[in-house]
Structure 1
Amino acid sequence: MKPVKILLFILGVFILLGAAMWLTPTGGVDSGEFTFHMPTFEEMFLDDDVEYADVSEIIEGQFNIDSVHVFKNDSISGEMKFPKASYDSLVSKIHVLETTSEGRQNLFHFFEKLENDTLNRIMHYGDSQIEGDRMTAFIRNKLQNRFGGAGIGLRPAVQPYDFVFSARQENSDNWQRYTIFGNIDSLVDHNKYGAMAAFSRYAPLSYDSIPFLLTNDYRAELNIAATNMSFKLTRRYEYFRMFYGNLKEPVKISLRANGTFVLRDSLKSDIDYAVIECDLPDSTNTISLFFEGFDSPDIYGIELASRTGIIMDNIALRGSPGLFFTKNDFEHSLKMYNDLNPGLFILQFGGNVLPYISENSKGIENYSRWFRAQINRIKKTCPDAAIIVIGPSDMSVKEKDRYVTYPQLPELVKEMKNVALSTGCSFWNMYDAMGGKNSMPAWVNAEPQLARPDYVHFSTRGARLIANMFYNALIFEYNKFLKEESKLKN
């Protein structure tokens, strides 16, 4: 081929590509599940204008607040003193909780219970960012080491996730789980799901409108055991409780702890809510439950914990935006919350609404209104409990060949903060704490990796790091409470 023809061919290709670049919209052309993009002229000839956050200082600046700050009573003045001069420089690295005077008062009320009560419960609700006991396990361990306590808290009778850091669970194959969020089973004719927003059973659903027949004798089993990778205190089960209801006929239940039967009883029938409980032998780290009867209870949760110290529940609800509290039967859930007696709620939601909110829609406004209703329901149910809202992390969406922060995320965080502060809650801005806009790619590309390649979820190491950041912020507030309490006493 002659050089002139080659040149003309190359010029023709450039002209066609230029026309395609000029005609293709900035947002691309949707074709089913695929979006066709072309680079703009600016992207071809100018530097990439996407700036990724530098989070190296955040990561390198992490520390253990418990090791640097211990209040000591001065023998001369009687006042509490900071024992280490480095404390002020270290706490400057803490991304603190944001709160109002009302929120701080509510939080200090919880701290008072830490000082005076023998048992304190924290209920950590969240979406897939905390599933598998990620984040919660680390925070729980730190709190139990500081304030006492043992065990894993509430568990579902059916574990919906493949991996859970703190315990291994196996069930017979006849169990089913029913949730009040996501794909709700239309055959459930009530809204009594309990404090975990889900119940489990091993026999078919029964209905008040249909006569109950003693036709099948159902048997089921479930086993829960500590894992070698879990924290030491989490592996210790001192006390067992099971929350259940909706039985048409009594059911036999047996509990075996570390291979020895410690409970043989019958579950109550014709009651919408009940609790069965017993102490467990020392060193229990494995339990098995056996059921036999003509029906199955709706099981709202199984608790393996201690009688004193901290109990912290991991209630991970994959795909949930956290709008289920108002859907739950109030009187029914109130009974369970009264038995649980939580002193602190941690609500970690928001990320699941982002993909469905357009920049010009009222989606954020609507979600904020609905989220406010959830907080008000919690306050009505547990008026003495403090509430901390953890905003969503940075989340990336792929834009051509780059990963950038969802454009609606900063506004969502802002509105969730406004809702939290205006309702007397505290707010921890996880988005800012991890570096803000376009920080997720830095967590994904860190060595070792701190976030998964989906640019949404933390890795196990990253979850541990962000959990430590939150724990430091919580204990920083607790230390301020101790200092104020000391001043009042003196």
Structure 2
Amino acid sequence: MKNRLHYTFLIALFVMLGLMSLHYLPEINLCGKTFRKVDLLSDIRCDVHVADTLNLDSLFSEPVVKPPFVDSCKAGIECIEDYSDSTEYGMSHFYEALSDIENRQSPVRIAYFGDSFIEGDILTADLRNLLQTEFGGKGVGYVSITSKFPGFRPTVRHSFSGWTSHNVTDSVGFIRNRQGIANSYFNATEGAYTSLEATSKYASCLDGCTASSIFYLTDDSLYISAEINGSSEQKFRVKGDSTLQCLTVNGNIKKVKWNIEKSSQDALFYAVTMDSNNGIILDNFSTRGSSGQQLLGIPSSLLKKYNKLRKYDLIVLQYGLNVAFEGGLDYGYYKDGMKFVIQHFKKAFPDASILIVGIGDRETKDENGNLRTMPAVKGLIRSQQMLAAETNVAFWNLYNAMGGEGSMSKMVNSNPAMANYDYTHINFRGGKHIAGLLFDAIMYGKEQYEKRKSYEMQ
């Protein structure tokens, strides 16, 4: 019998030569994305100089930054850029609300919209805690009826049963004009419930609340009960209405369970809340995979009703992870699309301040296998800044606040790590760090607003 062992070495040689030859193939593009070249010798090959081909000045004219009072920002703070005009959709309304918070009859409410960067209350949990510690307030705020990953969110214990869930990310069966402010809606079977239990595990301000509400829309009457702290129960029979409604219970609430005892098939439910009657309330509206443009699908009539039932003083829009792509330079199309979203919210919340938070650092590997900031990030940031300037709202440069070029890599490699190994998403430690940076920017902006107001009154 012949010895054919040498064929194994020949096959291995041909495979190796074939893989090495792949390095010399031209660039392969698919759906606008360029595949990285295969290079078996990358560890021993001399690094190729990789130029950053993004010339921002060739894409956009420099927007004029108009700080409200000072010509330069305080060292160590990435200041909020306010592009508001006479309509005052910049930060003035929010700063005024904070300044007058002790005299208000209602809490100062913040709606923080974003993608998976803030999923599970990452970043927003710590920003809420900092603001509630400074200005008062309790509770986690607005929580959708169900959640795909309820255990991932450490700021509330959430349990539920008996619901059919509909989310904007569903591939089929989602009806856009039924969705609420969180891009979702829920149908109840008889006996359905949603329970929220306070926890001080993450922050002391979350150990209880003084008010809880349930938001719903129904044309027919409903029978609902609220069970507080496992014992006290309040029963409600509510009449049908063509617009958004909410029921509220008050007390020293550690746990609240909303039960749907009898419901019509067409009744829509949206969320339950844990709030306080003063201080700060911050609601997290995270949608995984979102670019932000899905917010345009929320019916205007419903948003206007939210403005009456849950009036927001500040609306934050933080998107970009699902917009930036390798090789993308000009995001003017995205800016133009988001203008409609801004206008949508301005009409629904005419008194609210609006803040756009730019995309943070996101890293990718170059031809040498070295990590660097994705060039597309800088182009997207400029478009987001221009979006704020052209719609007269405020802008905060998260990329600069994080430290700019290579900052995500530093967060990943910090000890303990503050970001994930996808070099795109932060973890809760990273969220705490960034929340501190944004809190400092807000407090400094408030200070400058008060100085300007005092100066104008002299």
> Same fold, TM exceeding 0.5?
yes
How far the C-alpha of 1:97 sits from its partner, in A, is 1.1
Residue 427 (structure 1) aligned with residue 395 (structure 2): yes
Residue 444 (structure 1) aligned with residue 433 (structure 2): no
- Picking from 130, 146, 151, the partner of 1:158 is 146
Are 1:28 and 1:35, in contact at CA under 8 Å, matched by a contact in 2? Answer: no
Equivalence for 1:59? none
- Which deviations, in whole Å up to 9, do the C-alpha atoms of 1:327-371 show, x marking residues without a partner? 12211221122211111101111111224x7537x6x22211111
- Which deviations, in whole Å up to 9, do the C-alpha atoms of 1:109-149 show, x marking residues without a partner? 22212233242111111111111111111111111122221
Unaligned segments of structure 1, at least 5 residues: 1-8, 52-88, 204-217
Equivalence for 2:312? 342
Q: Please tell me the residue identity of whatever aligns with 2:356.
A: V
- Picking from 401, 409, 413, the partner of 2:381 is 413
Equivalence for 1:92? 75
Equivalence for 1:251? 222
Are 1:255 and 1:288, in contact at CA under 8 Å, matched by a contact in 2? Answer: yes
Residue 329 (structure 1) aligned with residue 299 (structure 2): yes
Equivalent-residue separation in structure 2 for 1:137 and 1:470 (angstroms):
13
TM-score normalised by L of structure 1? 0.77
Are 1:195 and 1:337, in contact at CA under 8 Å, matched by a contact in 2? Answer: no
Equivalent-residue separation in structure 2 for 1:184 and 1:20 (angstroms):
41
Secondary structure of 1:93's match?
Answer: coil
TM-score normalised by L of structure 2? 0.82
Provide closer, same or farther for how the CA distance between residues 107 and 418 of structure 1 changes in structure 2, counting only shifts above 3 A: same
Unaligned segments of structure 2, at least 5 residues: 1-9, 52-71
Equivalence for 1:279? 250
Q: Please, which moves more after superposition, 224-233 or 374-383? A: 224-233
Equivalent-residue separation in structure 2 for 1:48 and 1:435 (angstroms):
26
Equivalence for 1:46? 46
How far the C-alpha of 1:199 sits from its partner, in A, is 1.4
Provide closer, same or farther for how the CA distance between residues 295 and 479 of structure 1 changes in structure 2, counting only shifts above 3 A: same
Q: Over alpha carbons, which structure has the higher Rg?
A: 1
Provide closer, same or farther for how the CA distance between residues 124 and 294 of structure 1 changes in structure 2, counting only shifts above 3 A: closer
Equivalence for 2:156? 167
How far the C-alpha of 1:324 sits from its partner, in A, is 2.3
Equivalent-residue separation in structure 1 for 2:172 and 2:90 (angstroms):
37
Secondary structure of 1:191's match?
Answer: helix
Q: Please tell me the residue identity of whatever aligns with 1:115.
A: S
Residue 374 (structure 1) aligned with residue 368 (structure 2): no
Secondary structure of 2:213's match?
Answer: strand
Equivalent-residue separation in structure 2 for 1:36 and 1:146 (angstroms):
51
Q: Please, which moves more after superposition, 324-333 or 371-380? A: 324-333
Equivalent-residue separation in structure 1 for 2:21 and 2:90 (angstroms):
60
Q: Please tell me the residue identity of whatever aligns with 1:20.
A: S
How far the C-alpha of 1:259 sits from its partner, in A, is 1.6
- Picking from 127, 133, 137, the partner of 1:139 is 127
Equivalence for 1:208? none
Are 1:226 and 1:285, in contact at CA under 8 Å, matched by a contact in 2? Answer: yes
Q: Please tell me the residue identity of whatever aligns with 1:347.
A: L
How far the C-alpha of 1:456 sits from its partner, in A, is 1.0
Equivalent-residue separation in structure 2 for 1:187 and 1:138 (angstroms):
32
Equivalence for 2:4? none
CA root-mean-square deviation: 3.2
Secondary structure of 2:324's match?
Answer: helix
Residue 149 (structure 1) aligned with residue 137 (structure 2): yes
Secondary structure of 1:186's match?
Answer: coil
Q: Please tell me the residue identity of whatever aligns with 1:319.
A: G
How far the C-alpha of 1:168 sits from its partner, in A, is 1.1
Equivalent pairs, count? 417
Q: Please tell me the residue identity of whatever aligns with 1:136.
A: T
Aligned identity (percent) is 26
Q: Please tell me the residue identity of whatever aligns with 2:184.
A: A
Q: Please, which moves more after superposition, 258-267 or 393-402? A: 393-402
Q: Please tell me the residue identity of whatever aligns with 1:342.
A: Y
Equivalent-residue separation in structure 2 for 1:348 and 1:34 (angstroms):
28
